[in-house]
Structure 1
Amino acid sequence: MKAHYLGHVVFYVKDLERSLAFYRDLLGFTEVGRIFNGAAAALTSGRTHHELLLIQVGDAPGPPAGRRRGLYHIGIKVGDSLDELRQAKRELEQAGVPIDGMSDHTVSQSLYLRDPDSNEVELYVDADEALWKRDPSTVVSPIKPLRL
């Protein structure tokens, strides 16, 4: 078997509308439908039928802070240039979303933030793919600070 690509991510969320305001209204995913009597929403960037499913669970415990087993973060590509990443940063700041960090990974440049349920989200742009195609080990290059 050979995996083709990661198809979608499912998050349990406290408040579906609050999470839709983040993923749909701020990050720009398109809501394609609801299931479970409206308690869950499927979203897409347009690449496939859905990349994200949000299921409302109310006051269930959220993710614990710090290092642990399980999901660390999800990465969402937001463009093809540093200018587009700068624009994303401006939009997050205007929306009052704190940015936890900014990193240059050589093969990509990233912003890190938390969604309304404290899940870590990486917003990124890729560097020229020739970098990692020529030398696949660049994917594990030392992480450098990013200044936008």
Structure 2
Amino acid sequence: MIRITRLNHAVLYVRDVERSSQFYQSIFGFTEVAAVPGRMAFLRAINSNNHHDLGLISLGSQAPSPPLGAIGLYHLGWEVETIEELSTAAQLLQKLGLLRGASDHGASKSLYAQDPDGHQFEILWQVPKEVWGQLENQVFVAPLNLEQELKHYSSLT
């Protein structure tokens, strides 16, 4: 058995590494820690202890997108610390026209969007574990009422 502690980073193929790097820096506040111009970039999240959390490798402007529903990565999930930060993220994604969906998963509250190459990502706030109860072992998906969740959970964060 290999004892994994957590996912350390993800690497994405993109068409334009500079465009993608700028996107992740402007949306998430990532810092570019290393790059080979025009070919690859490595980005770190604000509070991360990792060397990098996201790698970007350019395949060029003509690289095809994988067909929808093909085997492969569905999305990356990026966690925020508070429900208020999730609300701020929702406002930003909405303003930029990037918000594609929002779900209540019981143990987490999630927003869905995609980057310039169509990679889907989730921004989530995880409900404090002591509140999970039965939700820990259930698959739960419902529409997210962020305003209601803010009122309910603001006192816990």
Q: Do they superpose with TM above 0.5?
A: yes
Q: How high is the sequence identity, in percent, across the aligned residues?
A: 39
- Structure 1: which 4+ aligned runs deviate by more than 3 Å? none
Residue in structure 1 matched with residue 26 of structure 2 by the alignment: 25
Distance change in 2, residues 1:51/1:14 (3 Å) = same
Residue in structure 2 matched with residue 63 of structure 1 by the alignment: 66
Residue in structure 1 matched with residue 118 of structure 2 by the alignment: 118
Unaligned runs of 5+ in 1: none
Confirm or deny: 8 A CA contact 1:113 1:121 kept in the other structure: yes
**Following superposition of structure 1 onto structure 2, how do residues 1-148 of structure 1 map, counting pairs within 5 Å?**
1-35=2-36, 38-45=38-45, 46-58=48-60, 59-65=62-68, 67-81=69-83, 83-94=84-95, 96-132=96-132, 138-148=136-146
Judging by fraction of residues, say which structure has more helix.
2
What's the CA shift string for 1:5-26, capped at 9, x where partnerless?
1111100101112211221111
Q: Please provide the CA RMSD for this pair.
A: 1.7
Confirm or deny: 8 A CA contact 2:25 2:32 kept in the other structure: yes
Confirm or deny: 8 A CA contact 2:44 2:51 kept in the other structure: yes
Q: How many residues get paired?
A: 142
Structure 2 CA distance, aligned partners of 1:107 and 1:90? 22
2:100 is paired with a residue whose SS is strand
Structure 2 CA distance, aligned partners of 1:99 and 1:130? 29
Confirm or deny: 8 A CA contact 2:93 2:113 kept in the other structure: no
Confirm or deny: 8 A CA contact 1:16 1:55 kept in the other structure: yes
Unaligned runs of 5+ in 2: 147-157
Q: Which amino acid aligns with 1:101?
A: G
Structure 1 CA distance, aligned partners of 2:121 and 2:44? 16
What's the CA shift string for 1:10-55, capped at 9, x where partnerless?
00101112211221111111110113x5511101112311110001
1:99 is paired with a residue whose SS is coil
Confirm or deny: 8 A CA contact 1:73 1:119 kept in the other structure: yes
Structure 1 CA distance, aligned partners of 2:130 and 2:52? 29
Structure 1 CA distance, aligned partners of 2:114 and 2:54? 16
Q: What's the TM-score, normalizing by structure 1?
A: 0.87
